[in-house]
Amino acid sequence: MSKNFPENFVWGSATASFQIEGAAKQYGRGASIWDAFCATPGKVEGGHTGDIACDHYHRFEEDVKMMKELGLQAYRFSIAWPRIQPDGKGEINQEGIDFYNRLIDCLLEHGIEPWVTLYHWDLPLPLQIEHDGWLNKDIVDRFEKYSGICFENFGDRVKNWITLNEPWCAAVLGHGIGVHAPGRISSSEPYIAAHNMLLSHARAYRVYKKDFAHQEGTIGITNNCDFRYPLTDKAEDIAAAERSMEFFLAWFADPIWKGDYPAVMKEYVGERLPEFSEEEKREVFGSSDFFGLNHYTSMLASEPSEDDNLVSDIAGNGGMIDDQKVFLSDDPTWEKSHMQWNIVPEGCGDLLKWIAARYDNPIIYITENGCACDEPSAEIADNDLMRKNYYESYLRESRKAIETGVDLRGYFAWSLMDNFEWSFGYNRRFGMCRVDYETLERKPKMSARWLSQTIAQNGENI
């Protein structure tokens, strides 16, 4: 069987607005919840902020040229909502529209297809302060308006849209355990925020299909998920692994692909899990043209015993551990990235097959996949063998999944360049291109050069 990936397989890289743009207080951009979170002492390592980040706002032409030299066919980036609507609900900031128009036009001039994410966590701060952000159902109407502004201004050239990036993280890390903006801690808020995110996603999808169908694009949502292997072949551990997957991915995917929340979540969460009305079910069901997947790692799942310490932390499953009643652990033979995430290539292939089986083999794009490496010097960064091997092994397992019938159509490496890594600041390196934070010089690393060769050969070197 050919080692090539399918014809027209999309090869790209991805970024997020807050992590790279900078110009946080310029050109009419309003404040976001992440600006406020960064300004709160102790919330971000080193007191780092996104004020300058990679200065992509001023250097995007340089960055696009670098993408072209690497042979990237597509670039997934997010639009900063507060750069478009500074307060999240009122007047349009024309300077923000102009910036993204320049970026989109530059990409197309270099033969790179833009893939645009409408929301990658940088909620306009006034929506949080004045209206409780994702906890207020009014945000559905506001997201609809914001989405329409983007479709109207960019949709003549943008043909690939993602509504929300990783709503699990925004809900759980932002509203469950408080390690992401807006920094709230609650056992009920994650479910409310997630519910309103799903409704907002569906509304944006329906508006696009109704009012912008003439643009002839596709639109979907991107969810993140680790894979869960059962610790043993005992029935209770197998059930725990499946339950963990349902609390992680099916929480957001089932309403879209199957029509409602998983039954196990209704049972375990009870009245804290909001209910969809029949009209909402119809609006959410089928509201994605493809299955966007961000995947990085895998863990072992088992039925908890009395001796297991169910600590709710970012390394496990956030504030959902107590609800799902699953104990998570590692195989000691697994290599770890410098985020202490397990490197388990087989988990990527098995997750793709899990999605295909549960959701009737949808079109899938891996919209993020990457590895954090400790790079204390420029020389070590430029020779990022761990990241190169990570990409290669995960892509190999992805190709194997395709050979079994999984309809995987694209891969976006995370991330294009070193950037602001949320609560870790600039202390975790995911970039395949190095950024010198004193000079802001960019330079492709070994992994970028390897991916460039892979794209040119459509995977023959894997």
Going by the annotation, the residues of the binding site for substrate are: 19, 120, 165, 296, 414, 421-422
User: What stretches of 306-373 show up as alpha helix (H) in DSSP?
Assistant: 321-324, 345-358
Alpha carbon distance 328, 16 (integer Å)? 29
Q: Are 90 and 55 in contact (CB under 8 A)?
A: no
Alpha carbon distance 301, 239 (integer Å)? 9
Residue 434 has phi, psi (to 5 degrees) of -80, 140
Catalytic residue among 21, 280, 303, 368: 368
**Bond preceding residue 415 cis, omega within 30 of 0:** yes
Burial 384-401 (b: 16+ CB within 10 A, else e): bebbbbbbbbbbbbbbbb
Alpha carbon distance 167, 201 (integer Å)? 10
Alpha carbon distance 258, 281 (integer Å)? 10
**Nearest partner of 375 among 417, 345, 414, 333, judged by Cα:** 417
**Nearest partner of 203 among 273, 296, 130, 139, judged by Cα:** 139
Active site residue 7: no
Instruction: Find the length of the chain.
Output: 462
With left for phi above 0 and alpha for psi between -120 and 50, is residue 23 left, alpha or beta? Answer: left
Give the residue carrying structure tokens 């308006």: 145
Q: Which residues are annotated as a binding site?
A: 19, 120, 165, 296, 414, 421-422
Q: Are 32 and 122 in contact (CB under 8 A)?
A: yes
Token readout for 141 is: 């109407």
Q: Are 297 and 225 in contact (CB under 8 A)?
A: no
Half-sphere exposure of 334 (CA within 13 A, CB side): 20
User: What stretches of 359-384 show up as alpha helix (H) in DSSP?
Assistant: 378-382
Helices (H) and strands (E) in the chain, counts: 18, 15
State which H helix or E strand residue 434 sits in.
Answer: strand 433-435
Residue 417 has phi, psi (to 5 degrees) of -150, 160
Active site residue 438: no
Catalytic residue among 21, 166, 189, 242: 166
Q: Are 128 and 182 in contact (CB under 8 A)?
A: yes
Rg (CA), the chain: 21
Alpha carbon distance 378, 58 (integer Å)? 23
Please give the positions annotated as active site.
Answer: 166, 368
